[in-house]
């Protein structure tokens, strides 16, 4: 919604917004754009009466601002619908979907197009470091959008992505997620099938190879040419690491064409993200060599293994990972890049799916590469969560208070440690507090 606000501002509208507990980097971006964010949802915010209200999917009936909007018959729509009606018309839409990797892949794709001189527009659920903003109107026909399968709004329970009508569609992967709205993976596949129905036969679908759920999806019906990507030899777009530290990559096509470069990322999951972005960029006419060279200049995404500080040889990272698969891949990549160094994880289980216990059976194994695990346990977490984590043994410490967690971390960390904060929220500013505590300890 912050990105939608930025696009509306760029289109010349006067924009304000309402939210609760806004935190960086989005709060910083909105402030820099001159967009006022009002804390809370008091009905008085709708005085004077706005011309239009764009409603985020976090709001439900009973919310004071929602009720006032309906009672006063103020025109409204969802964020995805506003984007479709006011930005995506007449554009070549390049949508990046899937359970994992959407933000990074969309950021890579936008950067490849920008580096190739194509000046794309974009709307991404994070802030690419190369751009410093999550949304841009763009100067060309190309528009990159992160295409989320979560529902659209309280009045529109379709997945967000059905509004976007892409010409180029990336599907990174499909796993069960969003247990608060989808009963099983079949329900998610049904939504993706609706998305496939909107892609023209002249378009292109780019999907991960060797994914059974994607096989099942395509078998439901597909009317668009499909290309695959992966690290195996049979994919249309193929990638391999050329060194043990995963600093050099080789990207090839089934035709035999290939290109190599060094880059700043690592991990098989990011290599797959890169393959998807490169394949998608080819539909805009970007050559393989151009795309791979652009990736050598890609600086990553804020809150996606973003190294925010190094204090006393302790590296501190901010990461958005909150699904076991994403956690496992992120830590595996870090272990390869930093062999022999301890990995310390601070985890905040914050998503609705996590709180419903859907990931209990796989969460601890996803943390296998962590030497120490510090968990912030919200008061509303069920006892089953604790039972699941108990198998981690002495590696794991649990806290119900952010400051106590920070104090414990400060006493346990050693030079050389890789300290990763994992949350899809603000984590009570624990990362910032730990950084300050370590700096004070060093100064003392």
CATH code, domain carrying 20: 3.40.50.720
Within 10 angstroms of residue 334's Cβ, the number of other Cβ atoms is 22
Tell me: do 351 and 426 sit in the same domain.
Answer: yes
118 in any annotated domain: yes
pLDDT digits (tens, 9 = 90+) for 243-258: 988 999 999 999 999 9
- Residue 40, token pair as written in the block: 């809370």
- pLDDT for 20: 87
| Structure-model confidence comparison of residues 185 and 178, the more confident one | 185
Q: What are phi and psi of 403, to 5 degrees?
A: -65, -35
pLDDT digits (tens, 9 = 90+) for 324-351: 888 998 999 899 889 999 999 999 987 7
Average pLDDT of the chain?
93
Tell me: do 61 and 169 sit in the same domain.
Answer: no
- Residue 42, token pair as written in the block: 């008091």
Which residues, 6 or more positions from 255, have their beta carbon under 8 angstroms from its beta carbon? none
Ranges assigned E (strand) in 20-176: 36-39, 53-55, 76-78, 92-97, 121-123, 135-136, 142-146, 151-153, 156-159, 168-171
Q: What are phi and psi of 292, to 5 degrees?
A: -65, -40
Give whole-number Cα distances, 301 to 102, 270, 319, 402, 411, in Å. Answer: 11, 12, 10, 25, 30
136 and 318 Cβ atoms separated by less than 8 Å:
no
- Looking at 74, 109, 128, which one is the last position of a domain? 74
123 and 79 Cβ atoms separated by less than 8 Å:
no
Nearest to 146 by CA among 280, 333, 331: 280
Domains of the chain: total: 3
Q: Which residues pair with 419 in a beta bridge?
A: 316, 344
Hunting for tokens 């569609």 — which residue is that?
Answer: 169
Q: 391 pLDDT exceeds 90?
A: no
Q: 55 pLDDT exceeds 70?
A: yes
Tell me: do 116 and 59 sit in the same domain.
Answer: no
- Residue 376, token pair as written in the block: 């912030």
274 and 310 Cβ atoms separated by less than 8 Å:
no
Distance CA 374, CA 424 (A): 16
Mean pLDDT across 107-122:
98
Tell me: do 377 and 430 sit in the same domain.
Answer: yes
301 in any annotated domain: no
Nearest to 173 by CA among 77, 96, 241: 96
- Residue 294, token pair as written in the block: 């652009």
Tell me: do 69 and 94 sit in the same domain.
Answer: no
91 and 98 Cβ atoms separated by less than 8 Å:
no
Distance CA 41, CA 43 (A): 6
Q: How many residues does the chain have?
A: 444
Residue 330 belongs to what domain range?
306-443
Tell me: do 209 and 332 sit in the same domain.
Answer: no
Q: 390 pLDDT exceeds 90?
A: no
Q: Which helix (H) or strand (E) holds 282?
A: helix 268-282
- Looking at 235, 261, 295, which one is the last position of a domain? 295
Distance CA 257, CA 250 (A): 11
Tell me: do 123 and 31 sit in the same domain.
Answer: no
Tell me: do 320 and 377 sit in the same domain.
Answer: yes
Tell me: do 285 and 408 sit in the same domain.
Answer: no
Nearest to 110 by CA among 102, 101, 119: 119
Tell me: do 22 and 49 sit in the same domain.
Answer: yes
pLDDT digits (tens, 9 = 90+) for 393-416: 899 999 999 999 999 999 999 999
Q: What are phi and psi of 438, to 5 degrees?
A: -70, -40
- At 282, the pLDDT band (50, 70, 90 cuts) reads very high
As a three-state string, the secondary structure of 348-371 is CCCCHHHHCCCCHHHHHHHCCCCC
Phi-psi region at 24: left, alpha or beta (left = phi > 0; alpha = psi -120 to 50) = beta
Q: 279 pLDDT exceeds 90?
A: yes
Going by their DSSP bridges, the two strands 258-262 and 248-253 should be labelled as antiparallel
- Looking at 57, 74, 91, which one is the last position of a domain? 74
- Residue 416, token pair as written in the block: 């050389």
- At 378, the pLDDT band (50, 70, 90 cuts) reads confident
Tell me: do 276 and 384 sit in the same domain.
Answer: no
Distance CA 226, CA 269 (A): 21
Task: Indicate which CATH number applies to the domain containing 151.
Answer: 3.40.1190.10
- pLDDT for 356: 65
417 and 344 Cβ atoms separated by less than 8 Å:
yes
Tell me: do 64 and 18 sit in the same domain.
Answer: yes
5 and 121 Cβ atoms separated by less than 8 Å:
no
- pLDDT for 357: 65
Please report, rounded to a whole number, the percentage of residues in the chain having pLDDT higher than 70: 98
Nearest to 210 by CA among 236, 184, 178: 236
């Amino acid at each position: 919604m912050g990105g939608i606000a930025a696009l509306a501002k760029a289109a010349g509208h006067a924009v304000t917004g309402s939210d609760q507990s806004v935190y960086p980097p989005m709060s910083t971006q909105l402030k820099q754009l001159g967009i006022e964010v009002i804390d809370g949802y008091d009905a008085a915010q709708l005085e004077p009466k706005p011309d239009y209200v764009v409603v985020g999917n976090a709001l439900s009936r009973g919310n004071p601002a929602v009720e006032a909007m309906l009672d006063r018959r103020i025109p409204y729509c969802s964020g995805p619908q506003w984007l479709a009606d006011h930005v995506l018309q007449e554009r070549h839409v390049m949508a990046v979907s899937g359970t994992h990797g959407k933000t990074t892949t969309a950021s890579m794709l936008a950067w490849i197009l920008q580096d190739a001189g194509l000046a794309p527009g974009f709307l991404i659920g994070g802030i690419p470091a190369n751009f410093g903003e999550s949304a841009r109107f763009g100067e060309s026909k190309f528009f990159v959008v992160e295409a989320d399968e979560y529902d659209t709004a309280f009045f529109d329970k379709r997945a967000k992505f059905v509004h976007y009508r892409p010409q180029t569609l990336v599907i990174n992967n499909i796993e069960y997620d969003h247990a608060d709205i989808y009963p099983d993976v079949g329900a998610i596949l049904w939504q993706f099938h609706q998305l496939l129905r909107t892609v023209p036969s002249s378009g292109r679908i780019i999907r991960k190879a060797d994914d059974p759920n994607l096989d099942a999806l395509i078998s439901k019906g597909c009317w668009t040419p499909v290309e695959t990507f992966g690290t195996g030899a049979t994919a249309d777009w193929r990638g391999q690491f050329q060194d043990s530290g995963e600093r050099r990559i080789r990207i090839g096509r089934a035709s035999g064409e290939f290109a190599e470069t060094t880059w700043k990322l690592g991990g098989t999951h990011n290599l797959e993200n890169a393959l998807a972005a490169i394949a998608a960029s080819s539909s805009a006419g970007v050559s393989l060599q151009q795309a791979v060279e652009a990736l050598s200049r890609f600086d990553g995404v804020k809150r996606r293994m973003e190294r925010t500080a190094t204090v006393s040889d302790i590296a501190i990272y901010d990461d958005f990972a909150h699904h076991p698969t994403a956690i496992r891949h992120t830590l595996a990549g870090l272990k390869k890049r930093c062999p022999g160094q301890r990995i310390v994880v601070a985890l905040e289980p914050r998503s609705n799916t996590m709180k419903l216990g859907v990931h209990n059976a796989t969460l601890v194994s996803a943390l296998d590469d962590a030497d120490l695990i510090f968990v912030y346990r919200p008061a509303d977490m069920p006892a089953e969560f604790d039972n699941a984590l108990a198998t981690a043994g002495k590696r794991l410490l649990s806290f119900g208070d952010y400051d106590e967690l920070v104090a414990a971390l400060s006493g346990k960390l050693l030079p050389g440690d890789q300290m990763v904060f994992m949350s899809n929220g603000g984590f009570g500013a624990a990362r910032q507090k730990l950084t300050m505590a370590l700096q004070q300890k060093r100064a003392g």
